[in-house]
Structure 1
């Protein structure tokens, strides 16, 4: 997957440049905002082979189709709804919000390149309000400009995420699917006082494109006739940028908002992206286990199962009756083989609901297993990530850091890739990590 030959050439070009960090600093100062949280910038992108990226993109596009199938199953099957265990209010929102069929319009599929094989493995579906829809394109362009400044070789193709208006294009496409006019007024939903840099910058990008865009608190939504307003501002569509974990807390504390939202998704001439089916069902980490659950085997085809086996690590929902791959009790195997597993809450933010067996104490692990049994968390086989060289300003000039490979999709089509790097167990920017540019080589770069 990684184009190591191209990487070594770019790394050599970068390291041979005198005054490297002066060039980096000048480019960053003169560029656009590209990070929600400050982190060190490595001038060497993750370089991905074009052929491997193309093959992987086709597979993950099929996987998003499977996520949409799971949303449809949630709507159609009482047993599936019971299995997810959403609250009555959450279930009502999913069932009512069907203008787009509840489907995933914008998502980031987070994964690793498996250590030793570089096989891409999907670990999580970010199908609610994924970060990076703007900043991933910006860091890719920033590093591309840096490489030009440094005289380094460039590797770039249409599979490199480069479009900073991808979200706007998607919102417009969603409006067309819903039979609505092109949205002239778009709300970016964030709790008052909690908007991150990317949301603020997204508003500015939309405004430059001629859209009346604004930040809005979802609790301020109201329906006037068929029109949605946030305060006194009308909206034709919204990008609901509130993470589902935070969203659940907001609505639990404000039941009146639930009723207003139900009226909006039922009656308004309004496009809600991502719909609640994506936010509550596809986003749930339990969706990573559903196709493997024996009681739901009849709902999935052999092709569905083959796709899951090719892309996902082994995973099951933790219950007293669940079995491990070897047929033994899953709960017992978790206790006996702590280092082999990861436990995940259905919804979390910034990796706070993820417990990695080999990274925690025995007592912490046993507590997580007990909590997972009680709440029905996801169990996944641990996947060790491949490492990639990052260039540093201080200490060792080059450090090999475990990385993620994250795929961005809009209306089911791959727009490109992003990456995070960290020396911590959780490869997350908010857990001490950093973002890396990801450049996919052109066909002519293939060797």
Structure 2
């Protein structure tokens, strides 16, 4: 595959720079210091971050026109991830290529009652520098963070703007604001299995004593909707008849908030525990979100490279390959015979010669620890990383330069710093529900590595059909039979 040739260069940029400039000027020019107001609003707000970071009162402001033009491709890509999971089941060569191991294979095989889909996904991406074209860098398809806290950040920043007298942007349909979007999807998963009794019993899975704050807050938010929700340790799973229990709590559906790196350590080494899980998946009236095919296959960085690999080209249609070329930077697993994008130069040689062009990725990682950025790594360390990647068949991905955006820092000098930002798509139940963003001056944009989150507000809601419903409306029903809970 080469370039997309899809006309994206002719689209308006994603960022609404006039609106962003107006908001920034209003925040800086308001009478009186901004810091006391920001501290007051943050102090009165519910928790919104798993780790402490400064909050910029300036949202990343994006155009609904461009968002709406981009959303269909993003949704098609998530559907493609589901099809790749099906291919994994059906194509022995692909199972060998992923080499997930017996525990993972057993869990995926047992989870056949669930459709091959990524029910809840956060696609981390950049707006490419110079074009603002969306480039998807990773599939967070195991236990993505931010489904609750991103909505809270958006509402918090809206409050600051209102209180500061700034000209508020008009929130578009794709601005996250609902605290129960995930709950709607969990209940819909029950409905599609014929297990929705009208009184769902929900577990959010976290290791005992190591729960992150968003998971704790999620359980509280679900309970405020009248749902029986608990925080549970996945090691406590047991089965009585067709009912799954975690400790003393019967559970119909779980949101497995244990990331794949931790899951492999926590569960896979315990054969009895894997056996209990496989039996529950295969025989109980119990829905596990995300399905294990998503958690292991779609989540893997190997999947970023799969559609580019000529050995598997016949598994994909021309339209699917064009979609990948439109959204993803070139990627390839290292190994014998692997070549650079020119199709001729050995990939390992090109990596050593041009480190500024590439990023190396482990198949699973947490908080960016498995990502090595060539242009931010010393020559010796980079050569060692390339050698290791060759031995373990890791993924090389073309580097994408992110767009910079002003981040406001009240009472600091300078008060405005332009930082590279991410543009992350939340896709729930196959539909884009909104976006999040991270900003940092570090090579890896991660809040656990010195970064911070930004609110993302979408302007001009007059255009575009948007997703299934406007999340700010207190609707009690959504299309396609998806249950919807009041805020």
| TM score, norm. by length of structure 2 | 0.90
Q: Mean Cα displacement is larger for which, 91-100 or 432-441? A: 91-100
From 165, 188, 195, the counterpart of 1:180: 195
Match of 1:60 in 2: 74
Alpha-carbon distance, 1:98 to partner? 1.9
From 437, 440, 444, the counterpart of 1:426: 444
Partner of 1:122, secondary structure, is strand
In 2: Cα distance, 1:395 partner to 1:98 partner: 56
Mapped pair 1:351 → 2:368: yes
The Cα RMSD (Å) is 1.2
In 2: Cα distance, 1:38 partner to 1:3 partner: 28
Match of 2:468 in 1: none
Whether the 8 Å contact between 1:109 and 1:408 is mirrored in structure 2 is yes
Whether the 8 Å contact between 2:65 and 2:463 is mirrored in structure 1 is no
Match of 1:233 in 2: 249
Name segments (4+ residues, structure 1) moved above 4 Å: none
From 365, 379, 384, the counterpart of 1:362: 379
Mapped pair 1:13 → 2:26: yes
Partner of 1:39, secondary structure, is coil
Count of matched residue positions in the alignment of Structure 1 and Structure 2: 446
Structure 2 unaligned residues grouped into runs of 5+: 1-13, 465-487
CA deviation vs aligned residue, 1:71-96 (integer Å, no higher than 9, x gap): 11011111111111100111111121
Match of 1:373 in 2: 390
In 2: Cα distance, 1:212 partner to 1:437 partner: 30
Whether the 8 Å contact between 1:102 and 1:276 is mirrored in structure 2 is no
In 2: Cα distance, 1:441 partner to 1:7 partner: 10
Mapped pair 1:407 → 2:413: no
In 2: Cα distance, 1:167 partner to 1:430 partner: 24
What pairs with 1:212-223 in structure 2 (closer than 5 Å)?
A: 212-223=228-239
What pairs with 1:1-400 in structure 2 (closer than 5 Å)?
A: 1-17=14-30, 18-155=32-169, 156-182=171-197, 184-326=200-342, 327-393=344-410, 394-400=412-418
CA deviation vs aligned residue, 1:273-312 (integer Å, no higher than 9, x gap): 0010000000001111111111111110000000000000
In 2: Cα distance, 1:223 partner to 1:445 partner: 50
Alpha-carbon distance, 1:444 to partner? 4.7
Whether the 8 Å contact between 1:422 and 1:428 is mirrored in structure 2 is yes
Q: Mean Cα displacement is larger for which, 100-109 or 401-410? A: 100-109
Alpha-carbon distance, 1:184 to partner? 2.1
Structure 1 unaligned residues grouped into runs of 5+: none
Partner of 2:359, secondary structure, is strand
- Structure 1 residues 444 and 153: CA distance shift in structure 2, 3 A: farther
Whether the 8 Å contact between 1:94 and 1:102 is mirrored in structure 2 is no
CA deviation vs aligned residue, 1:409-433 (integer Å, no higher than 9, x gap): 1011000000000000001101100
Partner of 2:172, secondary structure, is coil
